[in-house]
Structure 1
Amino acid sequence: MKDQKTAMLYGLGTVLLWSTVATAFKLALADLAPVQMLLVACASSVLVMAVILLLQKRWYLVFSLRKKQYAQSFGMGLINPCLYYFFLFGAFDRLPAQEAQPLNYTWALVLAYLSVPFLGQRLRKLDIIAGLVCYAGVVVIATRGAVTTMSFSDPLGVSLAIGSTLVWASYWIIATRDTRDPVVGLFLNFLFGLPVIALICWWTEGLALPVTGSLVAAVYVGVFEMGIAFVLWSYAMKKAENTSRVSNLIFISPFLSLVFIYFILGEQILPSTYIGLVLIMMGLWLQQKKVKEREQELADG
């Protein structure tokens, strides 16, 4: 049954969890290499999603798919978690959290652009304006305000952050044709991706992990960012009478995240971060506005 109040509570819970992950990423990367962190987080996520499926009495769905869908799980697992989190954690390893986190939020705009060639959607003027505003914010953050010199603080880190948005948006475009149960699908993606991550970790960094707070932070990322947050957001969307109101909650997350980054990580938040983040959120709001208009047109038609 639809219940907007419950949907908003699920949505707020998700946003709160998303707001903490940039801080958790940096804490985990203090003693772990990105691939080691990914191994711990992915393994934790697989376990928590298995428990969720058992509690929901939907475990049988894991074994009821067609062979083609298991092959699909492996292919999508190579994209997410493998490739996406390699890029994302690599970006957080090189950039301050206040820079890497806002850059990652531009994935929604990338998704709109990639939907034009791959899903046959039309590119409107508002998409172009949203893109210009959004990426103006990216430049402000990436150059730490030195926009006239175009001197990037860490070109590779910025490239990894932008690359993660391309991978994530591509993943969701592929997922539009995914008929599997969402939680089952994510569980299998991570399950099939885990051995690949373990092999790469063993080959590059080794499997000996330091037993420190970084290990706890990596487990936190796997349990909450990769696992529970996804399930809560799914519930929020299912319960919502008005999905736009729930979706708008995501605009709280990056600003709340700066609070955790400042007080827990001790990063001095630069003025350029605030300016760039406001521009990125404005661009995303414009893009969201276009989506709402399209939904209204369909409803009226």
Structure 2
Amino acid sequence: MLYGLGAVLLWSTVATAFKLALRELSPVQMMAIACTASVAVMALVLVVQGRWRQVFALSRGQYMQSMAMGMINPCLYYFLLFGAFDRLPAQEAQPINYTWALVLAYLSVPFLGQRLHRADIVAGLICYSGVVVIATRGDVLGLEFSDPLGVGLAIGSTLIWASYWIIATRDRRDPVVGLLLNFLFGLPVIWAICGLTDGFRFDAGSGFAAAVYVGVFEMGIAFVLWSWAMKKAENTARVSNLIFISPFLSLVFIALILGETILSSTYIGLVLIVSGLWLQQHGSRRALAEAAQ
């Protein structure tokens, strides 16, 4: 539970860190800095734990797998995610990104052969009604989105992130080893794109520090803490429920640090999204339990 709480606390701060970094950096510059910091952190974790040799003990096919997965995460996923945060207020981009868990349930039907339960369908209607409320800033009937491209990037990031985890279900490597290799293969592509577009000229100020923070904590330490929480938990459901704290706690940091005035539509939309995710998670568990009986 402590590992899980630590991960949730770190995830709750990253929307604020995204916006702080993007005040001074372009999305691709932020990706270059954050991914570099993340690789350093994950490598250090493996060295401290005495598992560094596992990085060099894999088959050729597994390295090829990392090359392909690295194009998805970090390259494509964070390009879409940071692009969304660059265009949208944090209070809009962050809740939309949380719907990736629902997208994962839907994509698991065609790609993993899982069944779609009634709870998944109802949860989808609730979640995406929340997305519409947030994206239109409460003007649901008018359907005028504050930034259609930004909303599209945020929704696109959920599709990519869910797809990544579906592919990862077939990955039998240590999670930290696999993620490190994915980032190692993706990092040269990010550097090349950054060099060819916005370049590496940026000040080592607050934006740079925020990007390093994202790489160290959101991409690195939070992932490690959550992996440990899942492995050590006596009841994984109790630990996984902690994630519902994160979006609400994130709004506190957004309001206090970024100074965004949290709109009533954001609260309403977020409650709908979290309610839908809770229904989807618990409804699916109930259906699985009944099937097992």
With structure 1 as the length reference, what TM-score do the two structures score?
0.96
Question: Matched residues, percent identical?
Answer: 74
Task: Please give the alpha-carbon distance, in whole angstroms, between the structure 1 residues aligned to 2:179 and 2:284.
Answer: 26
Cα deviation digits, residues 194-252 of structure 1 (max 9, x gap): 00000000011012122210000000000000000000000000110110000000000
Matches within 5 A, 1:1-301: 8-297=1-290, 300-301=292-293
Task: Please give the alpha-carbon distance, in whole angstroms, between the structure 1 residues aligned to 2:289 and 2:125.
Answer: 25
Q: Give how far 1:290 is off.
A: 2.1
- Cα contact 1:244–1:292 (8 A) shared by 2: no
Task: Please give the alpha-carbon distance, in whole angstroms, between the structure 1 residues aligned to 2:284 and 2:70.
Answer: 28
- Cα contact 2:117–2:287 (8 A) shared by 1: no
In the TM superposition, structure 1's runs of 4+ consecutive aligned residues that sit over 6 Å from their partners are: none
Q: Give how far 1:295 is off.
A: 4.4
Q: Describe the SS at the equivalent of 2:242.
A: helix
Q: Give how far 1:162 is off.
A: 0.1
- Cα contact 2:21–2:208 (8 A) shared by 1: yes
Task: Please give the alpha-carbon distance, in whole angstroms, between the structure 1 residues aligned to 2:7 and 2:31.
Answer: 21
Task: Please give the alpha-carbon distance, in whole angstroms, between the structure 1 residues aligned to 2:197 and 2:184.
Answer: 21
Letter in 1 for 2:177: V
Task: Please give the alpha-carbon distance, in whole angstroms, between the structure 2 residues aligned to 1:260 and 1:31.
Answer: 19
Gaps of 5+ in 2: none
Task: Please give the alpha-carbon distance, in whole angstroms, between the structure 2 residues aligned to 1:121 and 1:150.
Answer: 33
Q: Give how far 1:123 is off.
A: 1.2
Task: Please give the alpha-carbon distance, in whole angstroms, between the structure 1 residues aligned to 2:220 and 2:287.
Answer: 31
Q: Give how far 1:294 is off.
A: 3.9
Task: Please give the alpha-carbon distance, in whole angstroms, between the structure 1 residues aligned to 2:208 and 2:83.
Answer: 17
Q: Give how far 1:144 is off.
A: 0.2
Q: Give how far 1:102 is off.
A: 0.2
Task: Please give the alpha-carbon distance, in whole angstroms, between the structure 1 residues aligned to 2:205 and 2:88.
Answer: 22
- Cα contact 1:53–1:59 (8 A) shared by 2: yes
Gaps of 5+ in 1: 1-7
- Cα contact 1:129–1:283 (8 A) shared by 2: yes
Q: Give how far 1:179 is off.
A: 1.1
Instruction: Tell me the C-alpha RMSD between the 2 structures.
Output: 0.8
With structure 2 as the length reference, what TM-score do the two structures score?
0.99
The count of residues paired between Structure 1 and Structure 2 equals 293
Task: Please give the alpha-carbon distance, in whole angstroms, between the structure 1 residues aligned to 2:140 and 2:288.
Answer: 37
Task: Please give the alpha-carbon distance, in whole angstroms, between the structure 1 residues aligned to 2:174 and 2:250.
Answer: 30
